[in-house]
Structure 1
């Protein structure tokens, strides 16, 4: 498979109809087919699809219902859908567009026209994807921002709940960063944040892990399917990688170089809880580290919750 080609899914119960479109598009795109609405919905669960060409009239589940289900699913709602039909009545076209389709093409198909329309819709999708990508990135460090973090944490919480897996989180704070900023200046402070962010990314090796800027000089790492001991290993790696940067911090009471404090929380999500609980656990562990002298990591303990059910003040 050519990884540079975008993937188009043709959904049509009539083989001949699907083959005509496939032959028109196969030179420019990776083309796959589904013979029913159900097959389409199953296919998009496991394969990245850039655009769907969807027949309106199909047995069991028509194209309108398939589109409705695609748009109701957060994982597939952004895939552009083009309806293909022999019905040219305006009410049918209106219905398709109201359901969220980007276009409605009437048979018979004109190869140059359908190619041009698909090219335009994919170009628009690429532009949206680029804008969305940058909207989820922290402008200074280039890692994920708080907006993305909140969405990712929610997604991983529900995923871990469904699978019954452990979800871990690290809340990381640069020790005495205000003193560093005041002494070395904001330009140096920005450079320090970028170097720490890069070190955090290098400390987290799996594709599913999320490294994000939580706010100010705080960062968070989300570790799906990672038990407590695995989270501790990541925290230790972070401590070592930050130390290896050797960023001088003359005003730090704990070291001559920049250091970090890390709160570690691990839990198997429950229906009665929520992702905010995991953040609170990591926050309480971080508070404990900072109270005990900083430049270390601390695992959240259940006894910490008995002392406080609310977020600790920052120091």
Structure 2
């Protein structure tokens, strides 16, 4: 059974790209808002979440805060996506409980490695 990834972004292009790059190896579920993601999470638990930060109805920071307050989701890894590369934004994400942070546009190979690192924390590398 494939690992499940929830991808959250209000840009259809980005969710399509995430599905394209990850869909062969993972079951990718896409939603277009933080509110929609929280609703989906009421009945589902993914193995990993990839979330945009800048969204209109509920930004990625607030989504991450609300997501981490749910007891059963506190260990689910989260990768944040942003068009901003500033260190203060990365630090804020880490303080709110994100494991990783990628800037857009991302390198598909880096995305793949970051996803593997979060889904298989010790044994993801091909060769040591």
Partner of 1:29: 26
- Secondary structure of the equivalent of 1:9? strand
Distance 2:96 2:56 in 1: 19
Unaligned runs of 5+ in 2: 124-128
Indicate the RMSD between aligned Cα atoms, in angstroms. 1.3
Divergent runs of 4+, >6 A? none
Q: Is 2:11 the counterpart of 1:14? A: yes
Instruction: Work out whether residues 83 and 105 of structure 1, in 8 Å CA contact, stay in contact via their aligned partners in 2.
Output: yes
| Pairing 1:87-126 to 2, within 5 Å after superposition | 87-124=84-121
Q: How many corresponding residue pairs?
A: 123
Superposed CA offset, 1:71-125 (max 9, x none): 1110211111100000101000100011000000011111111001100110129
Distance 1:46 1:116, change over 3 A: same
Instruction: Work out whether residues 22 and 112 of structure 2, in 8 Å CA contact, stay in contact via their aligned partners in 1.
Output: yes
Partner of 1:45: 42
Q: Choose 1 or 2 for highest CA Rg.
A: 1
Instruction: Work out whether residues 80 and 125 of structure 1, in 8 Å CA contact, stay in contact via their aligned partners in 2.
Output: no
| Pairing 1:260-299 to 2, within 5 Å after superposition | none
Distance 2:121 2:69 in 1: 21
Larger relative CO (CA 8 A, sep 6+): 1 or 2?
Answer: 2
Distance 2:3 2:34 in 1: 21
Matching residue within 44, 64, 67 for 1:67: 64
- Secondary structure of the equivalent of 1:84? strand
Which structure dedicates a bigger proportion of its chain to helix? 1
| Pairing 1:59-208 to 2, within 5 Å after superposition | 59-124=56-121
Distance 1:125 1:19, change over 3 A: farther
Instruction: Work out whether residues 7 and 51 of structure 1, in 8 Å CA contact, stay in contact via their aligned partners in 2.
Output: yes
Distance 2:119 2:68 in 1: 17
Structure-1-length-normalised TM-score: 0.38
- Secondary structure of the equivalent of 1:10? strand
Partner of 2:126: none
Distance 1:7 1:122 in 2: 10
